[in-house]
């Protein structure tokens, strides 16, 4: 028996690039096509090998300096060197004020939401990657929500919701403490087929992000989704398909 489905459909599914209807069609097809199941398994295996190997290479610090140095002569010549001393002093004062304004603007959350989002996503992906090192995945290893939830008591200043979704295809694997953005957060670990999903939870001031909808993205090949819920910020990260993360988000929000 040979399957005549175009190979690109498997890849589109793997990459979360099929629309909901075609993805559902493909999942139905999977139920009766061992060939495609084997293909998908092989592709997932290759993908997780690529992610585990961490082949991403960051720019060396020297390159960064060298780029900055090469761009610097392109900036306008400092005005102060062309002006009389008195004017230069006033300009210096103005420059300091500008710098202060700029720092204040950078520190204000919200205005630079996009940038903060990228930094936060990078931290969360890093935390997820660290957890995949042997022995780091869970502090409390249990599929029983009534074991995991009390474990967090006294370790955190908030109570993260702990629920098992084994019946929906997301069995709880355990929990651990992690550090994101300099604060201790709860991390719940769920499995999705062969993938692991870390869900980071921490409390947010109630004024922030009251009714925003989930935001998604990807970083270094890992998908993430974040949403606020009941005064807490949720951040799920995994190499599973984005549609899986959306499904888990819905379960957690019920």
Partner 1 sequence: MGIKCPHGRLYSVSHSAQPKGQDVLNAQDAERFNLLVLPHLDSAFNLARWLVRNRTDAEDVAQESMLRAYRFFRGFHGGDARAWLLQIVRNTCFTWLEKNRPPEPTAEFDEEVHLANSITPEALAIAGNNRDRLSRALESLPPRFREVIVLRELEGCSYREIAVITSIPIGTVMSALSRARHQLQLALLSPAREEAAREL
Shortest separation between residue 186's beta carbon and partner 1, angstroms:
25
Residue 170 or 222 having the CB closest to partner 1: 222
| Smallest separation, CB 30 to partner 1 (Å) | 15
Q: State in angstroms the smallest separation of the CB of 46 from partner 1.
A: 5
* Paired sense of beta strands 222-229 and 183-192, if any: unpaired
Q: Which is nearer to partner 1, 56 or 86 (CB)?
A: 56
Nearer of residues 61 and 230 to partner 1, judged by Cβ? 61
| Residues found near partner 1 in the complex (CB under 8 A) | 7-8, 10-12, 15, 17, 38, 41-60, 62-64, 66-67, 70-71, 73-76, 118, 218-223
CB of 133 or CB of 207, closer to partner 1: 133
As measured in angstroms, the least distance from the Cβ of 13 to partner 1 is: 11
Please, which residue, 214 or 217, has the CB nearer to partner 1? Answer: 217
Could you tell me the smallest distance in angstroms from the CB atom of residue 198 to partner 1? 16
> C-beta of 100: minimal distance to partner 1 in Å?
16
- What gap in Å lies between CA 165 and CA 168, rounded to an integer? 5
Residue 222 or 234: which CB sits closer to partner 1? 222
CA dist 120 and 55 (Å) reads: 21
Quote the least distance from Cβ 62 to partner 1, whole Å: 8
Distances in Å between the alpha carbon of 150 and those of 127, 235, 251, 252? 23, 21, 21, 18
Q: Nearest to residue 236, comparing CAs of 170, 188, 183, 182?
A: 188
Query: Which residue lies nearer to partner 1 by CB, 50 or 204?
Result: 50
* 1 three-state secondary structure: coil
User: DSSP labels for 42-105?
Assistant: HHHHHHHHHHHHT---PPPHHHHHHHHHHHGGGSPPPGGGGS-HHHHHHHHHHHHHHHHHHHHH
Task: Strands of the chain (E only): list them.
Answer: 140-141, 172-180, 183-192, 195-203, 215-219, 222-229, 232-238
Neighbours of 97 (CB within 10 A): 10
Closest to 163 measured CA to CA, from 147, 141, 178: 147
């Amino acid at each position: 028996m040979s399957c005549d489905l175009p190979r690109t459909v498997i890849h589109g599914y793997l990459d979360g690039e099929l629309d909901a209807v075609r993805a559902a069609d493909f999942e139905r097809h999977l139920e009766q096509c061992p060939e495609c199941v084997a293909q998908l398994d092989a592709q997932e295996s290759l993908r997780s090998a690529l992610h585990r190997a961490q082949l991403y290479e960051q720019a060396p610090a020297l390159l960064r300096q060298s780029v900055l140095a090469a761009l610097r002569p392109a900036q306008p010549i400092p005005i102060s060197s062309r002006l009389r001393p008195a004017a230069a002093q006033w300009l210096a004062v103005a420059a300091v004020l500008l710098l202060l304004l700029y720092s204040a603007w950078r520190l204000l959350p919200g205005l630079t939401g996009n940038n903060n989002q990228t930094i936060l996503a990078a931290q969360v992906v890093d935390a997820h990657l660290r957890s995949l090192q042997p022995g780091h995945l869970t502090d409390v290893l249990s599929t029983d929500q009534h074991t995991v939830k009390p474990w967090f008591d006294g370790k955190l200043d908030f109570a993260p919701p702990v629920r098992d979704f084994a019946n929906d295809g997301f069995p709880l694997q355990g929990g651990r403490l992690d550090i994101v953005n300099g604060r201790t957060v709860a991390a719940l670990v769920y499995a999705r087929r062969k993938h692991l999903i870390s869900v980071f939870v921490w409390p947010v001031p109630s004024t922030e992000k009251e009714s925003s909808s989930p935001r998604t993205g990807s970083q270094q090949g890992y998908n993430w989704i974040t949403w606020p819920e009941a005064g807490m910020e949720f951040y799920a990260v995994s190499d599973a398909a984005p549609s899986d993360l959306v499904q888990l988000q819905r379960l957690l929000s019920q």
